[in-house]
Amino acid sequence: DQQVKQNSPSLSVQEGRISILNCDYTNSMFDYFLWYKKYPAEGPTFLISISSIKDKNEDGRFTVFLNKSAKHLSLHIVPSQPGDSAVYFCAASRMDSNYQLIWGAGTKLIIKP
């Protein structure tokens, strides 16, 4: 049973426009959510996170939205830049599980010039 799902394997966005990456989860007990960005041949790089007690967290061009009733979170990148082209992973964790991360399968974002 996949607890964290990223249903879009890939997404193509024009440079300068908004990129929206989506993530759904099934376990209502998750209390922390993270987005990681991964370039080829590198490890995942932490991007932004949100606690379950919040519905929005913003950091520069990156904003994460959490809709707990829908068990859905999204990452908005605006404006999108060529360097944003990467695979984006959504992950979730619970404090009572030592914050072990449960991951989605990733979405490959391609920013077109």
Partner 1 sequence: GAGVSQSPRYKVTKRGQDVALRCDPISGHVSLYWYRQALGQGPEFLTYFNYEAQQDKSGLPNDRFSAERPEGSISTLTIQRTEQRDSAMYRCASSRPGRSETQYFGPGTRLLVL
Q: How many CA atoms lie within 13 A of 98 on its CB side?
A: 1
52 within 8 A of 30, measured Cβ to Cβ? yes
User: Is residue 21 at the binding interface for partner 1, with CB under 8 A as the rule?
Assistant: no
- Binding to partner 1 by CB under 8 A, coded x per residue (else -) over 42-81, reads xxxxx--x--------------------------------
User: Is residue 93 at the binding interface for partner 1, with CB under 8 A as the rule?
Assistant: yes
**Non-local CB neighbours of 104 within 8 Å, separated by 6+ positions:** 4, 5, 6, 23, 89, 90, 91
For residues 23 and 81, give the distance between their C-alpha atoms in angstroms, rounded to a whole number.
Answer: 21
Longest Cα–Cα distance of the chain, Å, equals 44
The residue among 38 and 76 lying less far from partner 1, judged by its C-beta, is 38
Number of residues that bind partner 1 (CB under 8 A): 25
What Å distances lie between residue 91 and 15, 16, 64, 84, 113, CA to CA?
26, 26, 12, 18, 29
CB of 1 to partner 1, least distance (A): 13
User: Is residue 30 at the binding interface for partner 1, with CB under 8 A as the rule?
Assistant: no
| Segment interacting with partner 1 (CB under 8 A) among 14-22, 54-62, 70-78, 90-98 | 90-98
The residue among 14 and 45 lying less far from partner 1, judged by its C-beta, is 45
| Binding footprint of partner 1 on the chain (CB under 8 A) | 4, 32, 34, 36, 41-46, 49, 89, 91, 93, 95, 97-106
